[in-house]
Amino acid sequence: MTITAEAKPTIAWLGLGIMGQAMAANLLKSGHFAQLLVWNRSADKCDALVAAGAVAVGSPAEAVARADIVFGMLSDPKAALEVALGKDGVVSAIQPGKAYVDMSTVDEETSTQIAAAVRAAGGRFLEGPVSGSKKPAIDGQLIILAAGDESLFKDCAAAFDVMGKRSLFLGDVGAGARMKLVVNGTMGAIMTAFAEGMALADKSGLQQSDLLEVLGLGAMASPMIALKGPALVSRSYPPAFKLVSQQKDMRLVLALGDALDQPLPVMAAANEQFKKAKALGLGESDFAAVYEAAVHGAGGGSGGQA
């Protein structure tokens, strides 16, 4: 069923972490649906959306049974597989006419496995990982990287317009997963190099604020540097995109490189820095906390917020 102003289906949202909470909230405010059902493994995370008008359900299977289109936003491949294929999962209730859009960041193998199970049960499947973190999610400015059932992509156009500033259809299932991993691998490598540059500036007696100004005025100016620079200066890392999630994406993109015999030495080195920051207890901090790996590598201080 197409989500339009004229035809308002019931939709469901599975997974209410940092990203899912903001994306579901935007759908709830949009008015493009008859009802929004919500589910999360920790049920208390549904409370804010329920207070705003959503309806909590007891399982992914119940969400599928009651909704026309179900969206998922899970933390990692293990969680995505469990929600889709586990007991009372999405696939257990899929039947012809039902549709599942998995917006989690997972590897191609995971996405393909979920797609096959959904389709075998007669449903439609679309992968739709997103480029963007907490603020773009709140602002509805994500970039949606979709692949799979093109008719479902078209049916979700209005919902994607609420959540994002651009949605791309990339072809068969797996293309969205690959694109997201390439994007996040590149982002992780850039963030790691930026952190090292900031650490080097400080160590050499330069003002980090001056470096940020120079970077902001030149060809390397970017929203990420402008946004994360102050966090590095203050060594405070409230999570917009958790470091543990970034390291998971680095691991997945390196596996993709291995499968394709594509050397990724820079991303591999960046992954080691994210692993080091995670070992410092910073996994739940923002991924900008990789700066602490650079500082500790140089014999720096005690680190930022965990």
pLDDT, tens digit (0-9, with 9 covering 90-100), for 48-81: 999 999 999 999 999 999 999 999 999 999 999 9
Nearest Cα residue to 61 out of 53, 52, 48, 70:
70
Mean pLDDT of 241-245: 96
For residue 7, pLDDT over 50 is answered with yes
CB distance 246 to 105 below 8 Å = no
> What is the C-alpha end-to-end distance of the chain, expressed in Å?
44
Question: Is 135 marked active-site?
Answer: no
As annotated, the residues of the chain forming the CATH 1.10.1040.10 domain(s) are 178-297
Look at the domain 178-297 and name its fold. N-(1-d-carboxylethyl)-l-norvaline Dehydrogenase; domain 2 (1.10.1040)
Burial class (CB in 10 A: 0-12, 13-18, 19+), 6: exposed
Give me the pLDDT at residue 302, please: 41
CB distance 155 to 130 below 8 Å = no
Give me the pLDDT at residue 8, please: 84
- CA 129 to the chain's CA centroid: 6
Give me the pLDDT at residue 3, please: 54
For residue 143, pLDDT over 70 is answered with yes
Mean pLDDT of 256-260: 97
Band of pLDDT at residue 297, cut at 50, 70 and 90 = confident
- Write the DSSP assignment of 140-151 as a string of letters: T-EEEEEEE-HH
The token pair at 199 is 């650490």
CA separation for the pair 76, 42 (Å, rounded): 16
CA separation for the pair 199, 299 (Å, rounded): 11
What are residue 101's DSSP bridge partners?
Answer: 71, 126
CA separation for the pair 240, 188 (Å, rounded): 14
CA separation for the pair 19, 164 (Å, rounded): 12
In the block, residue with structure tokens 């096959």: 116
The CATH number assigned to the domain with range 10-172 reads: 3.40.50.720
As annotated, the residues of the chain forming the CATH 3.40.50.720 domain(s) are 10-172
CA separation for the pair 246, 293 (Å, rounded): 14
What are residue 143's DSSP bridge partners?
Answer: 131, 166
Burial 154-183 (b: 16+ CB within 10 A, else e): ebbebbbbbbbeebbbbeebbbbbbbbbeb
Query: How do residues 207-225 score in pLDDT, each as one tens digit?
Result: 999 999 999 999 999 999 9
Catalytic residue (one of 8, 45, 135, 180): 180
